[in-house]
A and B are shown apart, each in its own frame.
Chain A
Amino acid sequence: MRRTALLIVLVLALAAAVKAPFEASLAADRPALARSAGVNIKMREQIGQGLSLALLGGFRALVADLLWIAAHGAWEERRWFTMRQDFEAVTMLQPQAMFFWDLASWHLAWNASHAASTDPAEPRLAVRLRNQRLWIQAGRELLERGIANNPDRFELYEKLGWMLKQKIEDPCGAADAALAAVKRCQSWQRDYLQRLAGYWLEECAREKNPARLREAYDYWRDLWRREYSQRPREHWDTIDKNLSKRIQKLEADLAVPESERLFPKPQPSATIPAKS
């Protein structure tokens, strides 16, 4: 009897000892499981997610789908506040589905805000513009919550970039978001994201913050050296041509010494290989 009790305690202790390292190893594969996961999410949100997980169990995702349909219906009927509530519920139920964060924030920042700016029931322009800004802000907040829930994913950072660029007219913020996306992306989209970050960084420097012009140049130069410089000029496509032109323009604008340039001015003796 006493021996059995001792054995039971022993087994439990062994299991408890193995538990933490084992789960840490699982979390290395799936960050959502990590003990530190969600430290940047509010406690209330965490408990909401946990409770919905427990109560709805396996049907959590399904309930999210149904609420998504409801949100979709609200969108069609232009009931924007209902739509927003449904989005809140959907993203709480399935915070790991990028798709929901992406589309929900897009609906808020683009569709709802546009509807607010052209609201026929509101004659005052100032109020319409303020409402438009509020909806865009709502979209941004939702998207940023999505990022907090999925800090290791690149997709939502890219979406944030587009939102900052197009709806908030903040190319510098957009550039930073794109850079954050690049850091997290390992798939084939990386190529495109790297250029996107460059364009926005350059735009930020030229239109808003001239102090970052050097940063933009350094970024393009490093990218060119890393990814594009190996290709012979005769195989250049529109992307290569476009990038080389941008770099040349930046080198001129920043007055980079000839010796440090990627594209030094042709010396009289040198000949540019003719394009075949």
Chain B
Amino acid sequence: MNDTPQPDVVYFNLGRVWTIALNTLVEVTRQKVFYFMIVFALLMIAAANFFSIFTFGEEAQHTLQLKFIKDTGLGAIGIFGAIIAIVATAQLLPAELENHTIYTILAKPVHRSEFLLGKFAGSALLLVISVMFMGALFLSVVFLKERHLAATNHHQTIELAESALANQKDIPPAAKEQILTQARQKADQLVADIHKTAGYSGIVKALVATLVKLLLVAAITLMLSTFATSLVFTVVVSAMLYFAGHLEPVAQRFYAGSQTVAGKLMSAIITWVVPNLAAFDLADDLFAGTPLAWLKVLKIVSYGAFYLLVTLTLAHLFFRQREI
């Protein structure tokens, strides 16, 4: 190696980013994040059975049962994901500094941007895996519930028609057949309706948007940790920005209507700087029965990607000049 002339410029290299990312993934999976997965699984099982206890009559029944499962699933994935994104990401840099491993890594021919991006990618991989795992579990619970509801409703509808016919003796066979056919059609319609209520593509879209939001939250946390002096600061400010991001639409309206200087200033900061995290919540659209087209989901994803780029660029600018 000594006799080969060394280049005078070391270019940005994705291989090094990947090496750091995989190592970071191992690091973060060693934190207790997988307990969340167990809690999530229990929650889903509970949600699947909880609503069956109540009866709301006909249509409302299956709509509400499926809604409840979906609300539980999406809500838990959003919250657990945010906790994982903030807590796991916040300690990446402090842990590196505390263990002095950052010295050995940056003493190698490694760009700081490669290191930072690798750290983010490791955290991002964890989020992708977590959301995929929870999402798969969630979809299977919805699927099982749908099958169960469909089977029960189908069976009940036909049984109802059959028992009605059994009580009436003098019906011509042709009319009988027609009534049964109608009952079968109604049952099929009901099954199709339940399938539509389950709304799988809508769930997948909501999960995609949630994942993008979580990646953005992780990036914001990482950015804060590039200049933060304590872990608590990073976690608290990340959580505050998470809430502010969800409040952003309200802040915008408040900004438009606010009279006081302080109110105007606060809402102005949120309006111009903080990304609108509510834009990634598709659960409401899902239930309002207006799932977005994929192209529009893509637009939301690109909004997230834009902010991801902004946040990571800022993180790089902070980290580049940080004294280690």
Residues in chain A within 8 A of chain B (CB atoms): 1, 4, 7-8, 11-12, 14-16, 18-19, 22-23, 25-26, 29-30, 32-33, 35, 37-39, 43, 46-47, 49-51, 53-55, 57-62, 64-65, 68-69, 72, 94, 96-99, 103, 150, 153
Cβ-defined contact, A54 with B246, below 8 A: yes
Tell me the minimal C-beta distance from A132 to chain B in angstroms.
23
B269-303 Cβ-contact flags toward A at 8 Å (1 or 0): 00011011011010111011100100010011001
C-alpha spacing A16/B271, complex, angstroms: 9
B300 touching A26, Cβ below 8 Å = yes
Q: What A residues does B63 contact at CB under 8 A? A: 99
Using known A-B contacts A4-B321, A11-B313, determine if residue A98 contacts B67 with beta carbons closer than 8 Å: no
20 other contacts beyond A11-B314, A43-B257, A60-B75, with CB at 8 A cut-off? A4-B318, A7-B317, A8-B314, A22-B306, A26-B299, A26-B300, A32-B284, A35-B249, A50-B246, A50-B247, A50-B250, A54-B247, A61-B71, A61-B74, A62-B75, A72-B54, A72-B56, A99-B287, A150-B288, A153-B288
Residues of A within 8 A of B275 (CB): 19
CA distance A12 to B82 in the complex (A): 24
In the bound complex, residues from chain B placing their C-beta under 8 Å from that of A153 are 288
Distance in angstroms between the alpha carbons of A23 and B270 in the assembled complex? 14
Of chain B, the residue at the smallest CB distance from A187 is: B289
Q: Contact between A69 and B303 (Cβ–Cβ < 8 Å)?
A: no
Whether A53 contacts B246 in the complex (CB less than 8 A), given A7-B317, A11-B317, A62-B75, comes out as yes
Interface SS of chain B: helix
**Residue interface mask B53-72, A partner, CB < 8 A = 1:** 01010001001100110011
- Closest Cβ of chain A to B254, distance in Å, is 8
Task: Report the minimal beta-carbon distance from A4 to chain B, rounded to whole angstroms.
Answer: 5
- Once A57-B82, A153-B288 are accepted as A-B contacts, the answer to whether A65 and B314 lie under 8 Å apart by CB is no
The answer to whether A58 touches B256 (Cβ under 8 A) is: no
- Do residues A33 and B249 form an inter-chain contact, with CB atoms below 8 A? yes
User: Known contacts being A15-B273, A65-B68, A99-B287, is A49 close to B278, with CB within 8 Å?
Assistant: no
Consensus secondary structure, chain A interface:
helix
**A50-B249, A98-B289 known; A58 and B78 CB under 8 Å?**
yes
Other-chain residue from B76, B273, B292 in contact with A30 (beta carbon distance below 8 A): B292
CA distance A53 to B320 in the complex (A): 36
- Does any Cβ of A come within 8 Å of B34's Cβ? no
Contacting residues, chain B, for A53 (C-beta < 8 A) = 246-247, 250, 278
Determine whether the beta carbon of B75 is less than 8 Å from that of A59: yes
Report the nearest A residue to B47, measured CB to CB: A62
Please tell me which one of the listed residues B68, B247, B279 contacts residue A33 in the complex, with CB atoms under 8 A apart.
B279
A72 to B: closest C-beta gap in Å: 6
- Of A4, A23, A32, A50, which contacts B320 at CB under 8 A? A4
24 contacts across the A-B interface (CB closer than 8 A):
A4-B318, A7-B317, A14-B310, A15-B310, A16-B272, A18-B306, A23-B276, A23-B279, A25-B299, A26-B279, A26-B303, A30-B296, A32-B285, A33-B279, A35-B252, A46-B253, A46-B254, A50-B247, A57-B78, A59-B76, A65-B64, A96-B288, A98-B289, A153-B288
List chain B residues, Cβ under 8 A from A69. 54
Please report the C-alpha to C-alpha distance between residue A58 and residue B79 in the assembled complex, in whole angstroms: 6
Q: Which 7 A-B pairs have the closest CB atoms?
A: A58-B78, A50-B250, A58-B75, A61-B71, A96-B284, A16-B272, A54-B243
Chain B residue nearest to A38 in the complex (CB): B253
- Which partner residue on chain A sits nearest B283 by CB separation? A61
Closest to B244 in A: A54
Shortest distance from the beta carbon of A104 to any chain B beta carbon, whole Å: 12
When the two chains form their complex, are residues B287 and A61 in contact, meaning their CB atoms are under 8 A apart? yes
Q: Which residues from B are CB-within-8-Å of A58?
A: 74-79, 82, 281, 283
- The 8 Å CB contact of B79, one of A37, A50, A57, is A57
B36 at the interface (CB under 8 A from A): no
Closest-by-CB residue of B relative to A27 is: B279
Contacts of B307 in A (CB 8 A): 15
Taking a contact as CB atoms under 8 Å apart, the answer to whether B249 and A94 are in contact is no
* Residue from A43, A58, A69, A150 having most chain B Cβ neighbours under 10 A: A58
Cα distance A12–B274 in the bound complex, in angstroms: 10
Chain B hits for A98, CB < 8 A: 288-289
> Within 8 Å CB of A12, what residues of B?
273, 314
Q: What is the bound-complex CA distance between A138 and B160, given in angstroms?
A: 38
Which residues 143-189 in B have Cβ within 8 Å of A in the complex? none
Which of A46, A54, A62, A153 has the most chain B CB atoms closer than 10 A to its own CB? A62
Which chain A residue lies CB-closest to B272? Answer: A16
Contact A59 B79 (CB under 8 A): yes
CA distance A36 to B14 in the complex (A): 43
> Nearest-CB distance from A265 to chain B (Å)?
41
Tell me the minimal C-beta distance from B53 to chain A in angstroms. Answer: 9
Q: Which of B71, B72, B257, B278 has the most CB of A within 10 A?
A: B71
Q: Which residue of A lies closest to B76 (CB)?
A: A58
Q: Is the CB of B272 within 8 A of A19?
A: yes
Q: Which residue of A lies closest to B287 (CB)?
A: A97
Pairwise interchain contact A97-B284, C-beta atoms closer than 8 A: yes
In the bound complex, residues from chain B placing their C-beta under 8 Å from that of A57 are 75, 78-79, 82, 242-243, 246
Cβ of A55: which chain B residues have Cβ within 8 Å of it? 243
Residues of B within 8 A of A11 (CB): 310, 313-314, 317
Which residue of B is nearest A49, CB measured?
B250
Q: B244, B253, B292: which has the most chain A beta carbons within 10 Å?
A: B253
A105 CB → nearest B CB, Å: 14
